[in-house]
Structure 1
Amino acid sequence: MVTSIQVASTAGQNRAVPVVWGSVPQRNKNFTGRDSLLGELRNRVTSEVTAVLPHALQGLGGVGKTQLAIEYAYRFAGDYQVVWWVPADQVALARSALAALAPRLGLSVTPGRIDDAVADVLDALRRGEPYYHWLLIFDNADQPEMIKEFLPHGTGHVLVTSRNHRWQSMADTVEVDVFSRAESLAFLHRRVPGITAPEADRLAEELGDLPLALEQAGALQAETGMAVADYLELLSQKAVKLLAENPPSDYPVPVAAAWSLSVTRLREQMPFAMELLRRCAFFGPEPISRDLLILGRYVLESPLREALADPIMVSRAMRELGRYALARIDNNRKTLQVHRLIQKLIRDELNATESVQIRNEVHRLLRAADPDDPDDVLKWPAYETLLPHVEPSSVVESTDPDIRRLFNNIASYLYNVGDTRGCLATANKALEVWEAAAGEGVRDRAILIAGRRKADALWSLGEYQDAYEMRRTTMKNMRQVLGENDQETILVTVGHSADLRVRGDFAGARALDEDILVRTRDVLGEDHTVSFIAANNLALDFELTGDYDRARTLDEKTLQDRRDFYGRDDDPNVIFSLNAVARDTRQAGKYRQARSLAEQAYHLYQQVTAQMLPKNHSWVLLQAKDLSVARRLDGDFNDALSLARETHRLYVDNFLSDHPDTLAAAINLGNSLRRVGDLEAAADLIERTVEGYRRVLIADHPYTHASILNLAVIRRQIGRDTGDMSLIEEAKDKLEDALAGLDRTLGSAHHFTLTCQSSLAAAVADLGDAERALELDQAVLPRLTEVLGPEHPHTLMCAANLALDLRAVKLERQADVLASETLARYRQALGAEHTDVLEMAKGNRLDFVFEPSPF
Structure 2
Amino acid sequence: MTVEHSAGVARLSGGIPEVWGKIPPRNKNFTGREELLRTLRRGITGQVTAVVPHALHGLGGVGKTQMAIEYAWRYRSDYDLVWWVPADQPILVRSSLAALAPRLGLPPATTTGTEEAANAVLDALRRGEPYARWLLIFDNADEPGDITGFVPHGPGHVLITSRNHRWEGVVDTVPVDVFSREESVQFLTKRVRRSITPADADRLAEELGDLPLALEQAGALQAETGMSVSEYLDLLRERTSQLLAQGKPSEYPASMTAAWALSVASLTERMPEAVELLRCCAFFSPEPIPRDVFSRSHPALGPRLSTLIEDPIRLARAIGELGRYALVRIDPTSRTIQVHRLVQALLRDELPEEERARKRTEVHALLVASAPEDPENVTNWDRYQQLVGHIGPSGVRENQDPKVREFALNVVRYLYASGDYSSARIMVNQLLDRWTEDEVQDDTSILSARWRLGIILRALGEYGAAYELNKQALADARHKNVDSEVTVRLINSLGADLRAHGDFRYALDHDTDSLKRHRELFTDGHLETIRAMNSLALDHGLNSRYLEARDLHEEVYLRLQDPKVGGAATTLNAWTGLARAVRLCGDYAEACDLGEDAYAYGVEQLGPDHPWTLRTGKDLSIAWRRIGDYDRSMELAEEVHARHVRLFGLNHPDTLAAAIALTNIQRAVGMLDAALELAEDTARRYPRVYGAEHPFNHGCQGNLAVLRRVCGACKAAREINEKALVGLENKLGRDHHYSLTVASNLASDLAALGEVEAACRLGRGTLRRIRAVLGESHPMTLACAANLSVDLRDAGEIEESGRLFEETMDAYARTLGLEHPDAVVAAERRHLDADFDPPPI
Please indicate the TM-score interval, normalised by the length of the shorter structure.
over 0.9
For 1:280-299, list aligned pairs within 5 A: 280-296=281-297, 299=300
Task: Give the aligned partner of residue 276 of structure 1.
Answer: 277
**Fraction of identical pairs, as percent:** 47
- 2:758 corresponds to 1:772: yes
More deviation in 694-703 or 577-586?
A: 577-586
Q: Which deviations, in whole Å up to 9, do the C-alpha atoms of 1:722-773 show, x marking residues without a partner?
A: xxxxx10110111111111111000011111112111111110111111111
Query: 1:604–1:337: structure 2 CA closer, same or farther, 3 Å change rule?
Result: closer
Structure 1 contact 285–337 (Cα < 8 Å) conserved:
yes
> 1: distance between equivalents of 2:268 and 2:78?
45
Task: Give the aligned partner of residue 420 of structure 1.
Answer: 421
Structure 1 contact 5–17 (Cα < 8 Å) conserved:
no
Structure 2 contact 205–215 (Cα < 8 Å) conserved:
yes
Query: 1:603–1:162: structure 2 CA closer, same or farther, 3 Å change rule?
Result: closer
> 2: distance between equivalents of 1:152 and 1:135?
10
- 2:74 corresponds to 1:75: yes
Q: CA deviation at 1:710?
A: 1.3
Structure 1 contact 267–273 (Cα < 8 Å) conserved:
yes
More deviation in 844-853 or 742-751?
A: 844-853
For 1:373-384, list aligned pairs within 5 A: 373-384=374-385
Among 732, 742, 753, the alignment partner of 2:739 is 753
Query: 1:358–1:262: structure 2 CA closer, same or farther, 3 Å change rule?
Result: same
Structure 2 contact 460–652 (Cα < 8 Å) conserved:
no
> 2: distance between equivalents of 1:483 and 1:189?
66
SS in 1 for 2:809: helix
Q: Which deviations, in whole Å up to 9, do the C-alpha atoms of 1:276-328 show, x marking residues without a partner?
A: 11111111111122221232365423233223211222122112212211112
SS in 2 for 1:626: helix
Structure 1 contact 242–248 (Cα < 8 Å) conserved:
no
Among 564, 576, 579, the alignment partner of 1:579 is 576
Q: CA deviation at 1:32?
A: 1.3
> 2: distance between equivalents of 1:5 and 1:532?
63
Question: Residue type of the partner of 1:585?
Answer: V
Task: Give the aligned partner of residue 55 of structure 1.
Answer: 50
> 2: distance between equivalents of 1:334 and 1:824?
71
Query: 1:198–1:275: structure 2 CA closer, same or farther, 3 Å change rule?
Result: same
- 2:825 corresponds to 1:836: no
- 2:780 corresponds to 1:794: yes
- 2:124 corresponds to 1:124: yes
- 2:150 corresponds to 1:150: yes
SS in 1 for 2:390: helix
SS in 2 for 1:138: strand
Structure 1 contact 484–490 (Cα < 8 Å) conserved:
no
Q: CA deviation at 1:605?
A: 3.0
More deviation in 304-313 or 80-89?
A: 304-313
Question: Residue type of the partner of 2:457?
Answer: L
Q: CA deviation at 1:592?
A: 2.0
Gaps of 5+ in 2: 4-11
Structure 1 contact 616–650 (Cα < 8 Å) conserved:
yes
More deviation in 280-289 or 55-64?
A: 55-64
Q: CA deviation at 1:566?
A: 5.4
Q: Which deviations, in whole Å up to 9, do the C-alpha atoms of 1:214-247 show, x marking residues without a partner?
A: 1111111111111111111111111111111133
Question: Residue type of the partner of 2:330?
Answer: I
Question: Residue type of the partner of 1:28?
Answer: N
Question: Residue type of the partner of 1:83?
Answer: V
> 2: distance between equivalents of 1:484 and 1:436?
21
Q: Which deviations, in whole Å up to 9, do the C-alpha atoms of 1:609-649 show, x marking residues without a partner?
A: xxx31201111111111111111111111221111111111
> 1: distance between equivalents of 2:237 and 2:366?
38
Structure 1 contact 210–254 (Cα < 8 Å) conserved:
no
Task: Give the aligned partner of residue 447 of structure 1.
Answer: 446
Query: 1:95–1:796: structure 2 CA closer, same or farther, 3 Å change rule?
Result: same
Query: 1:76–1:791: structure 2 CA closer, same or farther, 3 Å change rule?
Result: same
- 2:524 corresponds to 1:526: yes
Task: Give the aligned partner of residue 692 of structure 2.
Answer: 699
Task: Give the aligned partner of residue 688 of structure 1.
Answer: 681
For 1:299-448, list aligned pairs within 5 A: 299-438=300-439, 444-448=443-447
SS in 2 for 1:250: coil
SS in 2 for 1:85: strand
- 2:231 corresponds to 1:230: yes
Q: Which deviations, in whole Å up to 9, do the C-alpha atoms of 1:358-398 show, x marking residues without a partner?
A: 11111111111122422222222221121121111111111
> 2: distance between equivalents of 1:45 and 1:518?
64
Structure 1 contact 297–307 (Cα < 8 Å) conserved:
no
> 2: distance between equivalents of 1:359 and 1:580?
46
> 2: distance between equivalents of 1:574 and 1:778?
42
> 2: distance between equivalents of 1:626 and 1:303?
59
> 1: distance between equivalents of 2:822 and 2:112?
40
Task: Give the aligned partner of residue 537 of structure 2.
Answer: 539
SS in 2 for 1:403: helix
Question: Residue type of the partner of 1:388?
Answer: G
- Report how many residues are paired: 827
Task: Give the aligned partner of residue 831 of structure 2.
Answer: 845
Q: Which deviations, in whole Å up to 9, do the C-alpha atoms of 1:132-161 show, x marking residues without a partner?
A: 011111111122221222122111111111
Q: CA deviation at 1:777?
A: 0.8
More deviation in 30-39 or 298-307?
A: 298-307
For 1:600-679, list aligned pairs within 5 A: 600-606=597-603, 608=604, 612-679=605-672
> 1: distance between equivalents of 2:753 and 2:491?
49
Gaps of 5+ in 1: 7-12, 720-726
Q: CA deviation at 1:705?
A: 0.8
Q: CA deviation at 1:804?
A: 1.6
Task: Give the aligned partner of residue 595 of structure 1.
Answer: 592
> 1: distance between equivalents of 2:358 and 2:299?
17
> 1: distance between equivalents of 2:483 and 2:34?
68
Task: Give the aligned partner of residue 178 of structure 1.
Answer: 178
> 1: distance between equivalents of 2:337 and 2:141?
21
Task: Give the aligned partner of residue 212 of structure 1.
Answer: 213
Query: 1:422–1:814: structure 2 CA closer, same or farther, 3 Å change rule?
Result: same
RMSD: 2.0
> 1: distance between equivalents of 2:509 and 2:49?
56
Question: Residue type of the partner of 1:133?
Answer: R
> 2: distance between equivalents of 1:82 and 1:602?
33
Query: 1:419–1:64: structure 2 CA closer, same or farther, 3 Å change rule?
Result: same
TM-score w.r.t. structure 2 length?
A: 0.95
Q: Which deviations, in whole Å up to 9, do the C-alpha atoms of 1:664-713 show, x marking residues without a partner?
A: 11111111111111111111111111112112111101111111221111
Question: Residue type of the partner of 2:502?
Answer: G
Q: CA deviation at 1:783?
A: 1.0
Question: Residue type of the partner of 1:746?
Answer: L
Q: Which deviations, in whole Å up to 9, do the C-alpha atoms of 1:79-114 show, x marking residues without a partner?
A: 011100011111111111111112211122454642
Query: 1:302–1:564: structure 2 CA closer, same or farther, 3 Å change rule?
Result: closer
Question: Residue type of the partner of 2:360?
Answer: R
> 1: distance between equivalents of 2:270 and 2:574?
63
Question: Residue type of the partner of 1:53?
Answer: V
> 1: distance between equivalents of 2:150 and 2:600?
37
SS in 2 for 1:247: coil
Q: CA deviation at 1:567?
A: 9.4
Task: Give the aligned partner of residue 462 of structure 1.
Answer: 461
TM-score w.r.t. structure 1 length?
A: 0.94
> 2: distance between equivalents of 1:139 and 1:770?
72
SS in 2 for 1:380: helix
Q: CA deviation at 1:586?
A: 1.2
Question: Residue type of the partner of 1:225?
Answer: G
Among 722, 730, 733, the alignment partner of 1:736 is 722
For 1:565-576, list aligned pairs within 5 A: 565=563, 571-576=568-573
Task: Give the aligned partner of residue 190 of structure 1.
Answer: 190
SS in 2 for 1:448: helix
> 2: distance between equivalents of 1:633 and 1:248?
74
> 2: distance between equivalents of 1:14 and 1:165?
33
SS in 1 for 2:711: helix
Q: CA deviation at 1:14?
A: 8.5
SS in 2 for 1:436: coil
Task: Give the aligned partner of residue 163 of structure 2.
Answer: 163
